[in-house]
Amino acid sequence: MTTPSETVAVQAPEALPVVRTDRLPLLLVPALALLALPFVGSFSTWVTLTFAGLAMGMIIFIIASGLTLVFGLMDVLNFGHGVFITLGAFMATSVLGLMTAWTVSGSLLLNLVAVLAAMLVAMTVAGGVGVAYERLIIRPVYGQPLKQILITMGGMIVGEELIKVIWGPQARPLLLPTAFQGSILMGDAAVEKYRIIAVVLGLLVFAAMAWVLSRTKAGLLIRAGVQDREMVESLGYRIRRLFIGVFIVGSALAGLGGVMWGLYQQSVIPQLGSQVNVLLFIVIIIGGMGSVTGCFIGALLVGLLGNYTGFLAPKVALFSNILLMVIVLLWRPEGLYSLGKK
Amino acid sequence: MSEPLLKLEGVHTHIGAYHILHGVDLQVAQGELTVLLGRNGAGKTTTLRTIMGLWQASQGTIHFEGTDIAAKPTPEIAQSGIAYVPENMGIFSDLTVAENFILAARGSRRIEDMDAERLEWVFGLFPAMKRFWQHPAGLLSGGQKQMLAVARAIVEPRKLLLIDEPSKGLAPAIIQNMIVAFRELKRTDTTILLVEQNFNFARQLGDQVAVMDGGRVVHAGTMAALAEDEALQQSLLGLSLAAHQ
């Protein structure tokens, strides 16, 4: 290839555009935490509540991140996402049930292996069921939002009933392994060990997703597809294959979130997924549908607000998330991070 | 005369209840720049989108290199060597200029994998792309976005470029930049099907011209012949070239 034979006679105006990063939503999480401090009063209680809120937020993020990408990429409203959470949680009860000797031993290593095994099995099964779910339930209703809502809600109900058939309708205990129980003292504040683990794991998942989305070609394709899937196809990429991959990963992450949620609550019920579903949609609407960063911030806000209001005004906690969503949408009608979707 | 690179025969396209294309016949010869002219709503954009498979032809054939691509999915059509620059430019505004390039270069996973010599050639055509390499594409001006859209289409060699109104809404200086770039593309024997409404822009570049009206091609011939025949321009396009100079 040679250099252009004709000199480019007229140059376009080349004023450097100013790169402005929209950091305002990022400040909401520390702002909410600081705002709550004077109302809570006691610093140690505030630390405990903040860790609890962050842990819950991280678990919600892990569950909701796949859902937001699935919507962003293909405009698919999957109201059946909750079934993967429940499935993951129940798989964990079975796996940890088989490894009771390991979970009750005092060995941190054995405890870790047991939990990691439960997480791996839950993610694999949830991802595997996700393949069938996408093929049988989602694919026939691409581009038909009303049918999507109806059929995915139906899928949720059928999935929940199947879980009852397999594991029974009763609540099943999902106890924390011995090494994960108890609290760590931070000054006067007691912070449960598991909450710290949940925060660390949530940050790792967020970092991994951020890396994949910004450093790999598959990640770039996902981000581009969320914005303009027609153009991605015009460049020669099969967006449906990409979507199936995202759906599987999203289902597996929901399974992982189910394990973490179950361990957080120390028991699981077949209705777990349907109970969490509403919360997930609130989070992804707050964050801006399709935005992983928005989903992360939205999840943390929901987790923190739920804990603060639960402590300060339990009745307000019943609708605090809806209130948060209304306030955010009044400020930014497309959520914290709008993707300028075409 | 050799077989054209692209040949549409009797192509009809329906969008929902609307019948947009009513039997389009069009040929694009290898190595030439064919301009598709016509008033708003004549079916020019629909023709490009139908070729790309973004809207399926309900009737007729679209042969590219002798193969009927009318029923093929868009990614397969793109992989066969057709690049498309839509009217809205299709820029991924959340991604940087570099990331936009990487996605267009199907054979490369990273910037380092891209053909450096070709990249420099593209930068020669559109120097702003090099300058704004790491900038989010959404922050570029309208003209720079159009340059990115065209640059992205040629970052790897393609057999046919489909470009929809590249001069739309651009300042005269940037249009001139585009003309220079398209002349360079012509020099490299690139086949282009260009939709335009700016006749002066089209006249400077086109080898062949097809004029559409009411979802059909109503005139096809050389651009030189149309440019010289004011009466024909008046009857086909409702304009005279003099008014555009």
The distance of B238 to chain A (nearest Cα, Å) reads 31
Largest CA distance in chain B: 54
- Provide the strand spans (E) within B142-236: 160-164, 191-195, 208-213, 216-222
The distance of B76 to chain A (nearest Cα, Å) reads 6
Residue B198 scores a pLDDT above 90 = no
Pairwise CB contact (< 8 Å): B92 & A227: yes
Binned at pLDDT 50, 70 and 90, residue A23 comes out as confident
Residue A2 scores a pLDDT above 60 = no
Pairwise CB contact (< 8 Å): B144 & A12: yes
pLDDT tens-digit readout, B118-163: 999 999 999 999 999 999 999 899 899 999 999 999 999 999 999 9
| b/e A255-284 (16+ beta carbons within 10 angstroms → b) | bbbbbbbbbbeeebbbebbbebbebbbbbb
- Short-list B119, B126, B125, CA closest to B155: B119
Choose among A2, A9, A14: nearest Cβ to B180. A9
As a whole number, mean pLDDT of residues A136-158 equals 92
What tokens appear for B183 in the block? 């002349």
Residue A12 scores a pLDDT above 70 = no
Residue A98 scores a pLDDT above 90 = yes
pLDDT tens-digit readout, B22-33: 999 999 999 999
Which residue of B49, B69, B72, B74 to mutate against A (max A Cβ within 10 Å)? Answer: B74
Percent of chain A exceeding pLDDT 70 equals 93
Choose among A17, A228, A237: nearest Cβ to B90. A228
Which of A47-56, A78-87, B103-112, B155-164 shows the lowest mean pLDDT across its residues?
B103-112
A1: contact with B, CB 8 A cutoff: yes
Measured between alpha carbons, how far is B113 from B87 in angstroms, rounded to an integer?
Answer: 29
Measured between alpha carbons, how far is A204 from A293 in angstroms, rounded to an integer?
Answer: 14
Which of A88-102, A147-161, B25-39, B159-173 shows the lowest mean pLDDT across its residues?
B159-173
| b/e A69-105 (16+ beta carbons within 10 angstroms → b) | bbbbbbbbbbbbbbbbbbbbbbbbbbbbeebeebbeb
The three-class DSSP label of residue B200 is helix
As a whole number, mean pLDDT of residues B105-117 equals 89
B177: contact with A, CB 8 A cutoff: yes
Which residues in chain A have their CB less than 8 angstroms from residue B135's CB?
16-17, 19
Which residues in chain A have their CB less than 8 angstroms from residue B73's CB?
233, 238
Choose among A19, A224, A234: nearest Cβ to B84. A234
Which residue of A235, A243, A292 to mutate against B (max B Cβ within 10 Å)? Answer: A235
Residue A340 scores a pLDDT above 80 = no
Helix axes A292-312, A193-215, angle to 10 degrees: 160
- Short-list B155, B154, B207, CA closest to B28: B207
A234: contact with B, CB 8 A cutoff: yes
How is domain B1-18+31-81+159-245 classified at the CATH fold level? Rossmann fold (3.40.50)
Torsion of CA A99, A105, A109, A112, to 10 degrees: 50
Residues 6+ apart with CB under 8 A from B139: A17, A18, A19
Percent of chain B exceeding pLDDT 70 equals 97
Residue B189 scores a pLDDT above 90 = no
Which residues in chain A have their CB less than 8 angstroms from residue B109's CB?
217
What tokens appear for A123 in the block? 């993610």
B81: contact with A, CB 8 A cutoff: no
- Short-list B170, B169, B165, B168, CA closest to B47: B165
- Short-list A197, A234, A213, CA closest to A65: A213
Residue A155 scores a pLDDT above 70 = yes
B173 against B13, higher pLDDT: B13
Pairwise CB contact (< 8 Å): B95 & A235: no
Q: Which of residues 223-242 of B touch A (CB under 8 A)?
A: none
Whether residue B143 contacts residue A13, with contact meaning beta carbons closer than 8 Å, is answered with yes
The distance of A222 to chain B (nearest Cα, Å) reads 11
Give chain B's mean pLDDT.
91
Pairwise CB contact (< 8 Å): B181 & A11: no
Pairwise CB contact (< 8 Å): B128 & A12: yes
Residue B241 scores a pLDDT above 80 = no
Binned at pLDDT 50, 70 and 90, residue A18 comes out as low
- Check residue A7 and give its pLDDT: 43
As a whole number, mean pLDDT of residues A78-98 equals 96
Which residues in chain B have their CB less than 8 angstroms from residue A290's CB?
none
Choose among B103, B147, B183: nearest Cβ to A12. B147
- Beta-sheet pairing, B67-68 with B82-85: unpaired
Pairwise CB contact (< 8 Å): A8 & B132: no
Binned at pLDDT 50, 70 and 90, residue A246 comes out as very high
Which residues in chain B have their CB less than 8 angstroms from residue A5's CB?
184, 187
Which residues in chain B have their CB less than 8 angstroms from residue A221's CB?
103
Domain ranges in chain B? 1-18+31-81+159-245, 91-157
pTM over 0.90: no
Q: How many CB pairs under 8 A join A and B?
A: 130
As a whole number, mean pLDDT of residues A210-214 equals 91
The distance of B71 to chain A (nearest Cα, Å) reads 15
How many other C-beta atoms lie within 10 A of the C-beta of residue B51?
26
Choose among A6, A8, A18: nearest Cβ to B127. A8
A14: contact with B, CB 8 A cutoff: yes
Residue B89 scores a pLDDT above 50 = yes
Residue A6 scores a pLDDT above 50 = no
pLDDT tens-digit readout, A170-208: 999 999 999 999 999 888 888 999 999 999 999 999 999
Reduce the secondary structure of B105-160 to three states and give it as a string. Answer: CCCCCCHHHCCHHHHHHHHHHCHHHHHCCCCEHHHCCHHHHHHHHHHHHCCCCCCE
Pairwise CB contact (< 8 Å): B127 & A18: no
> B99: part of which helix (H) or strand (E)?
helix B97-104
Residue B243 scores a pLDDT above 70 = no
The distance of B180 to chain A (nearest Cα, Å) reads 6
Stated length of chain A: 342
Residue A21 scores a pLDDT above 80 = no
- Short-list A37, A39, A173, A28, CA closest to A94: A173
A165: contact with B, CB 8 A cutoff: no
- Check residue B109 and give its pLDDT: 86
Which residues in chain B have their CB less than 8 angstroms from residue A231's CB?
86, 90, 92
- Check residue A76 and give its pLDDT: 87
The distance of A288 to chain B (nearest Cα, Å) reads 14
- Check residue A298 and give its pLDDT: 96
